[in-house]
Amino acid sequence: MSYLKDKGFFLFILLLSPLFSLGQTDSTAFDAKSMVLGHIGDSYEWHIGSIGGGDLSVSLPVIVYSPHSGWHCFSSKKLREGQEYEGLRIAAGGDYAGKIVERQSDGSDVRPFDLSITKTVAGLLINSLLLILLVLGSSRWYKHRRADSPAPGGFVGLMEYLVSSLVDSLIKPCVGPNYRRFAPYLLTVFCFILLNNLMGLLPIFPGGANVTGNIAVAFVLALATFLAVNLFGSRAYWKEIFWPDVPSWLKVPLPLIPLIEFVGIFTKPFALMIRLFANMMAGHAAILSLTCVIFVTVEMGTAINSSMTFVSVLFNIFMNCLELLVAFLQAYVFTMLSAVFIGLSQEHHKPETSEQVEK
């Protein structure tokens, strides 16, 4: 029997796993490590599941450029199972394991310039399109409405409540008087991370892609915050970095505090990146590892396998509920810290009245 290689259909597999284990006839050892790493990593095809001894996958386009052979554009189906096409193949091991390489005349492998639509990229495009449709669909409600129109209900009302809550309780207090300037970016970041987190928890296509658990995606999000903080920082912000209000001996002749502050410019977005990446990747790995318990215990007998299947189902339900909470929390924390960093780089003026303080 072909084992589950991806998160797709795992709920279905969990419910029927005792039947599969009873009918297990081959002695091939289940490779849990490959299954888990195969899901949380990137690939050139979107593996949905294994049905009837065959793999159900979506082949994605391969787009690479080689200085030796030029541009190549074809379906990733041509590179399955170690096949070679147009001098290109997917490396099985080494420094380029899982990546497309080109064999040179001397027998060495060189990685070409890769612009392929991988699983992470495909998931990113699908989720981004879905987010655009949700936002534009909600905004159409307001197109022919007046200020005194009744409040919207349903999904549009939920979006209005979410945006209003984020602006009033998070963005405005953290950023300060210039919050309107940065609100579009912060709202986009929150919705983007939340939608990708939720789509990553869906067990069926087009869900299940580990987008926010990919270090490259987390890096780009952190880079966007880094640019928003430093490109729009005030003069007072840069003064606090290079000439902070500390005793002179901490600034000259050895610029100890300015050096620490300068390093902090890069450590803050780095912490954002690692926090998002590590939490989402760990959640996917934990759920998949619990699923693997079912198949690892197949050879231990029906009684043990059935009991461990029951335990695995319970823990998977708990972990999925926990991941729903984590999906929201990670989006909220990333947005909150981004707003705090942006707010610290802006010049604030002390309110003159108690009414302004309360606001």
Phi then psi dihedrals of residue 345, to 5 deg: -90, -5
Predicted local distance difference test score (pLDDT) of residue 254: 81
Residue 19 has pLDDT above 50, yes or no: no
Tell me the three state secondary structure of residue 102.
Answer: strand
Predicted local distance difference test score (pLDDT) of residue 32: 72
Nearest CA to 125 out of 216, 213, 209 is that of 209
Predicted local distance difference test score (pLDDT) of residue 11: 44
Q: Which residue has the higher pLDDT, 23 or 253?
A: 253
- The arithmetic mean of pLDDT across residues 28-53, rounded, is 73
Residue 316 has pLDDT above 70, yes or no: yes
Most confident of 14-18, 28-32, 110-114, 222-226: 222-226
Angle of CA points 338, 342, 348, to nearest 5°: 145
Instruction: Name the average pLDDT for the chain.
Output: 81
Residue 349 has pLDDT above 80, yes or no: no
Predicted local distance difference test score (pLDDT) of residue 28: 52
Banded pLDDT at 100 (limits 50, 70, 90): confident
Banded pLDDT at 307 (limits 50, 70, 90): confident
pLDDT tens digit string along 119-141?
889 999 999 999 999 988 888 88
Phi then psi dihedrals of residue 191, to 5 deg: -65, -40
Residue 12 has pLDDT above 70, yes or no: no
Residue 81 has pLDDT above 90, yes or no: no
- The arithmetic mean of pLDDT across residues 7-22, rounded, is 40
pLDDT tens digit string along 144-192?
777 777 777 788 888 888 999 999 999 999 998 888 999 999 999 999 9
pLDDT tens digit string along 41-76?
788 888 777 776 667 778 888 898 988 888 989 888
Total residues belonging to the chain: 359
CA dihedral 56→121→339→279, nearest 10 degrees, is 40
Predicted local distance difference test score (pLDDT) of residue 302: 81
Query: Residue 193 and residue 335: Cα distance in Å, rounded?
Result: 9
Predicted local distance difference test score (pLDDT) of residue 29: 66
- The arithmetic mean of pLDDT across residues 206-210, rounded, is 81
Banded pLDDT at 348 (limits 50, 70, 90): low
The proportion of the chain whose per-residue pLDDT surpasses 70, expressed as a percent, equals 86
Nearest CA to 200 out of 192, 211, 188, 190 is that of 211
Contact between 314 and 37 (Cβ < 8 Å): no
252 torsion bin: left (phi>0), alpha (psi -120 to 50), beta (else): beta
Predicted local distance difference test score (pLDDT) of residue 184: 93
